[in-house]
Chain A
Amino acid sequence: MTYIAKPKLHHPSLTRNKAGYTRRDYEGPVSTLCAGCGHDSISAAIIQACFDLDIQPHRVAKLSGIGCSSKTPTYFLGNSHGFNSVHGRMPSVLTGANLANRDLLYLGVSGDGDSASIGLGQFAHSMRRGVNMVYIVMNNGVYGLTKGQFSATADKGSKSKRGVINSDEPIDLASLALQLGATFVARSFSGDKTQLVPLIEAAIAHRGAAFIDVISPCVAFNNHPGSTKSYDYVREHNEAVNRIDFITKRDEITTDYAPGTVQEVVQHDGSILRLRKVDESYDANNRIAAMNYSQEHHAKGEVVTGLLYVDPEPQELHGYLHTVDAPFNRLSSRELCPGSARLAKINASLR
C-alpha cells in the first residue's frame, strides 16, 4: 500500500462520461492492500466499467463480506453506499437490500474464503434465487488477512508458501454457479484487464444473477512456484474461450468478423455482447456444455476464462416474487396499511 493520499482536486481536462462524471468520481480512498495485489486491478476494472457505462455512482450499492477482497469496496465508488457485512454472509444482506429497492445496481464483492468456505451456502442460495446482482469473487486460493492458510478454492496439489501441499479437492465457484442456475457466469484474471472490464460491463447490464470468478494472485502469500493461483501459473495456463466486446445499444457496429468466429448475445436491456471466439466450438448459451468444458480443461490444469455462459432471457428474484415496480423503501402507510375498516372486518371474522 501507499501512504500518499490521492489529491482531491481533479484536473479540469479530465474526460467526463455521458452522466457527467470523470473517472476519478468512481474512485475511493487509496487502497490499503499490498502493492501488486490482484484485487486492486479488479477494483480498477470495476471503476473503468462503471465509468464506461455512465453509471451514477450513488445508484450503486456495494456489499461485501470479510477478508482482503471484502475490503476493496472502500477503494472504489466512494460516493456509493457500502456495506462490509459479516464473514461469508454478503449474499443474504445483498438479497435483502435488493428486495428493499430494486432500482439500484447491486455489486457483491467477495473472496474465496468468504464465498467458498464460510459462505458457500449463502453463495449457492443467492445463485439459486436469481438475485439481480453482479457477484465478483476475487479468488486467490489463500487466506491473506490471517497470513497464508489455504482456502477452499486452492487446487489439490498446490503448494503453500510454507511448503505444505494441499490435499483437499478445490471448489470451483464458476461451475457451482452454472449448476445452481446463475444466468451469467464468467471467469477472468486480474492481470487481464482487456478481458475483465467488458465482462464486468456485460454483467452489470445483465438482469439476473451474474457471477464472475476472477483469479487474483496474492502477492504476499500465493505467488510462488508450486501455486496454481500465481501470476505466472495463470498466464501460462489461461485458456480463454472467448474475448468479449460489450456494446451498448447506442454504439454502431462497424467491424466485420469472419463467419463462425463471433457469437452475439442481445441482452434484455438491448445491449449486445459480441463474443469473439477463441475456441470456435464454444457456445456461451449452452449451460451444460459450459460445465463440461470447464471441468475437462480444469482436469488438464488449465484455467478456462471468458464468458462461460449467459442466458439472454434471464429471470430474477423480483420477477419470481411478482413484486411491484416501485421500490419498497418508498412505500408509505398509504400503500401498505389496510386500514381500520378492513381490520374491523377481520375482527368480525374472528368471533
Chain B
Amino acid sequence: MTRIQAVNDFVVKFANVNGSGSASANELFAKSIIRMGVPVSPRNIFPSNIQGLPTWYEVRVTDQGYLGRRGGVDMMVAMNPQTWDEDVAEISPGGYLFYDNTKPLPKSRFRDDITVIGVPLTEICNAAYSDPRQRQLFKNIIYVGALSSLLDIDPAAIEKLFAEQYRGKEKLLDSNIKALNLGRDYAAAHLDCDIGLKVKPSDRVGDRIFIDGNSAAALGLVYGGATVCAWYPITPSSSLAESFIKYCQTLRVDPETGKNLFASVQAEDELASIGMVIGAGWNGARAFTATSGPGVSLMTEFIGLAYFAEIPATIINVQRGGPSTGMPTRTQQADILSCAYASNGDTKHVLLFPEDPHECFEFSATALDLADRLQTPVFVMTDLDIGMNQRLSAPFVWDDARAYDRGKVMTEEELEAGKTFGRYLDVDGDGIPYRTYPGTHPKRGAYFTRGTTKDRYARYSEEGPVYVDNMERLVKKFETAKSLVPQPLTRPAKKATRNGVLFFGSTSPSMHEALDRLEAAGEHLDAMRIRAYPFCDDVMDFIARHDRVFIVEQNRDGQLRGMLINEGGIDPAKMIAVLHYDGTPITARFIVADIADKLARYNVTPIKKVAS
C-alpha cells in the first residue's frame, strides 16, 4: 500500500453527529491551520436537522490557495457510527482513517488499503470527566489534540485561539487546554505520528479574513445604510438576518440615547417580509430581506409590484437546492431565472453574483445604492456554499468618502421652487423618474402608488399607448442599469484561443483552479466571471469573440445560458453548458473533466489526458 504523502495539500473530513458540539472543535482545527499561514477551505455538509442526524465538516488544506471543494478524502475522522461504512468507503486509497477505538470493531468494517489510526477517545474522556455534557464536548477537543500531533499542527496556535475565545473565562480556557493535551499526550505516547499528511508553516494566508458569506453580507448591509430588516427564517439565509441584528447591536446604537438606528422585524411569512421592505423603501428607508428560493417564490407578486411601481428593495437570496423544499441544506445556483423574471407580466430584475464573502459585503452595500438609484428590486444572488461556510477572502474595504446614493429624490426645496414632478416622467433620458418621500411638501409631490397602469404623472390609465410608453421606459431604465452594476472580470488565456468560458458566483474558486489545470494540460480558455444581470455589453462581446463558450453553472437547466442566448440573440449551438447540480459545491475536478470531455467530443484539438 502506498500511503498518501502530502504537505499542506490534503482533505480531512470529519464525520459527526449533529448537535454533539463538534462544529466549534472542527472550526478550531481549521483556524489553527490558517494561523500557521496555510490556507484552508472548510465546508459544512449538514442535514435539515437539529440533533441526531449525520453531519460532516470537510477541510481542504491548500497551500496553493484553491478554496473550492476538491473532492476526495485523504483522512476521515469517523466519529459517527451511523455513517461508518460510507465514511470508510469514501477515503481515497492510501488515505487515513482516524477513529475512536474504545469499542473494538471487527476487521470486516475496515479496509486494507488505508492506514487506520485508533484513539480511545471515549475511554480517555470518561476517565477525565464525569459530567455527560463535558464528556461529549471535550471528546471533540481531544480528537483535535490527537490530530494536531499527527499532522504537526502547532499547539501554540490552538492555545492562542482558545485564549481569544475564552478571554475572561479562565476556567473554560484551562479545561479546553487540558482536553487538547489529553489528545496530544495520547498521540505522542501511543501513535506512530509519522503519517504522510503534514502541515508546515507557510505565508500564503496574507491579510485575508476568515468569515462566512451571510455574516459578510449582513455587515455590508450595515455599512450600506440598511435601517429596516424584515425577514422570515429559512435555511440557509436565517443567519444573515441574525448577523445583521448582532452587528447592529454594537454598530447601530445611538451613543447619546442608547436607542436603535435600525429595526428588524421577524415577519409572519415571506410575503410580509417583502411587503415591509417595499413599504419602507417607498417611504425612503433602506430596507432589505434575506431569504432563499422558496421565499422568493412567495414574494413574487410583491416583486412585480416593486418593479412596476418602482420601489427600491434589496433581496439577498442565499440559494439552496430546489425546486419546492428541494435540498434545503445543499447548495445550488438554480434561482437565476425565477429571480431575474420574478412576477407575472414582463419584468426584469437586477441580479448581483458575489463570488465570496468579500463580494457579499461589497455587493450587499452596492445593492442598496442600486435599488435607490434604479428604484427597483435588486437581488444579491449568493448561495449556501458561500453563505454558510467560512471562507478566506480579501479583507472588507470601505471608503469613508463614499456617500449613499439615494437616487433621484425630489426635495421640499425643489418642489417649492416649482420643479416639474411627474412620478413616472423621464426627464433626462435614463429611464429613471424622480420620486418623493411621503410627507415632503404640503401641496406638491404627492402621488398615488399602485400596481395598476398609470401615466407619467401617476394617474391611473389603461390606455394602450400610455401603458406601452411606461413599459418602454422601464426597458430603458434596465439599459441604464448595465453601466451601474458590477462589471464582468476577464481572465485571458495565456495563448490565443477561440474557446471561452463564462461562470459566476460560488463557482469562482473551483473555476480558477480548473483553469490552472486546463492550462497546465495545454488547454487554453479565455474566462469571464459575470457579476451581474443585466449583462453588460462586454459579456456579449466576449461571446461574439469566441467560437465556443462554456457556461458553468450549478443548476440542471443551464439557466444563465438560456438567459444569455435569449437576451443576446445568440446561436445556442456555440453555448455549451457545464452543469453541476447534485447539491454539493462544484469542484475543479468536475469542471476540468467535463470541459475536457466536451472539447474532445467537439474534436477541437487533441486533448492530453488531464490528471484529476
Q: Which residues of A contact B (CB under 8 A)?
A: 56-59, 61, 63, 73-74, 78-86, 89, 91-101, 103-104, 121-122, 124-125, 129, 317-318, 321-325, 328-329, 331-333, 335-340, 342-343, 346-347, 350-351
Contact = CB atoms under 8 A, between A and B. Distances in A.
Given A85-B278, A96-B287, A97-B438, 8 more contacts: A80-B446, A83-B450, A86-B451, A99-B287, A125-B267, A321-B260, A329-B437, A347-B207
A338 B251 contact: yes
Interface string B431-450: 00000111111110011111
Contacts of B403: 332-333
Contact of B449 (A81, A337, A343): A81
A101 to B, nearest CB: 5
A350 B272 contact: no
Interface string B188-213: 00000000000000000001111100
B451 A85 contact: yes
A333 B271 contact: no
Contact of B272 (A73, A92, A347): A92
B223 A121 contact: no
A100 B280 contact: yes
Nearest to A70: B450
A328 B265 CA distance: 15
B275 interface: yes
A103 B437 CA distance: 12
Interface in B220-273: 222-223, 225, 227-228, 230, 251-252, 254, 257, 259-265, 267-269, 271-273
B284 interface: yes
A78 B458 CA distance: 13
A303 to B, nearest CB: 30
A85 B273 CA distance: 14
Nearest to A82: B448
A244 B276 CA distance: 34
A85 B304 CA distance: 11
B399 interface: yes
A93 B279 contact: yes
A99 B285 contact: yes
A329 B285 contact: yes
A261 to B, nearest CB: 41
Contact of A328 (B282, B285, B447, B460): B285
A323 B263 contact: yes
B404 interface: yes
A337 to B, nearest CB: 6
B219 interface: yes
B119 to A, nearest CB: 31
A328 B368 CA distance: 15
Nearest to B304: A86
Nearest to B264: A321
A208 to B, nearest CB: 16
19 contacts: A63-B279, A81-B438, A83-B282, A83-B448, A92-B279, A94-B279, A95-B279, A96-B279, A96-B283, A97-B283, A99-B263, A100-B287, A324-B261, A328-B280, A332-B403, A333-B402, A336-B252, A351-B207, A351-B208
A324 B260 contact: yes
A96 B451 contact: no
Interface string B274-306: 111111111111010000000000000110010
Nearest to B409: A329
Given A61-B439, A343-B398, A325 B276 contact: no
A80 B444 CA distance: 9
Contact of B275 (A96, A98, A317): A96
5 smallest A-B Cβ distances: which pairs? A96-B279, A92-B275, A329-B284, A100-B285, A96-B276
Contact of B442 (A56, A85, A103): A56
Given A95-B276, A329-B285, A351-B210, A340 B261 contact: no
B400 interface: yes
A98 B278 CA distance: 11
B404 A333 contact: yes
Contact of B446 (A58, A89, A95): A58
Given A58-B439, A335-B261, A346-B219, A100 B227 contact: yes
Contacts of A93: 275-276, 278-279, 282
Nearest to A334: B403
Contacts, number: 223
Contacts of A125: 267-268, 272
B395 interface: yes
A96 B281 contact: yes
Nearest to B459: A29
B225 A100 contact: no
A324 B261 CA distance: 6
Contacts of B269: 121
A86 B448 contact: no
B398 A101 contact: no
Interface string B446-464: 1111111000000010000
B46 interface: no
B274 to A, nearest CB: 8
B542 interface: no
A99 B404 CA distance: 19
Contacts of B208: 351
A99 B276 contact: yes
A97 B285 CA distance: 8
A100 B398 contact: no
Nearest to A56: B442
Contacts of B460: 74
Contact of B227 (A74, A328, A346): A328
B275 A85 contact: yes
A51 B274 CA distance: 34
B149 to A, nearest CB: 25
Given A84-B452, A86-B451, A322-B259, A101 B283 contact: yes
B305 A86 contact: yes
Contacts of A331: 225, 227, 261
B390 to A, nearest CB: 9
Contacts of B395: 347, 350
Contacts of A79: 442-443, 446
B277 A96 contact: yes
A321 B228 CA distance: 11
A331 B284 CA distance: 10
Nearest to B219: A346
Contacts of A83: 279, 282, 448-450
Of the listed residues B211, B302, B402, B437, the one surrounded by the most CB atoms of chain A closer than 10 A to its CB is B437
Contact of A122 (B223, B254, B271): B271
Contacts of A333: 225, 402-404
Contact of A61 (B265, B398, B438, B450): B438
A329 B436 CA distance: 12
B210 A350 contact: yes
B110 interface: no
B581 interface: no
A277 B443 CA distance: 41
B396 interface: yes
Contacts of A97: 279-280, 282-283, 438
A61 to B, nearest CB: 5
A156 B230 CA distance: 37
A163 B400 CA distance: 70
A317 B433 CA distance: 33
Interface string B398-441: 11101110000000000000000000000000000000111111
A323 B275 contact: no
Nearest to A341: B400
A351 B392 CA distance: 9
A332 B202 CA distance: 44
Nearest to A321: B263
A304 B274 CA distance: 36
Contacts of B281: 96, 100
A100 B272 contact: no
A336 B276 CA distance: 20
Given A96-B228, A97-B280, A125-B268, A85 B209 contact: no
A80 B260 contact: no
A343 B260 contact: no
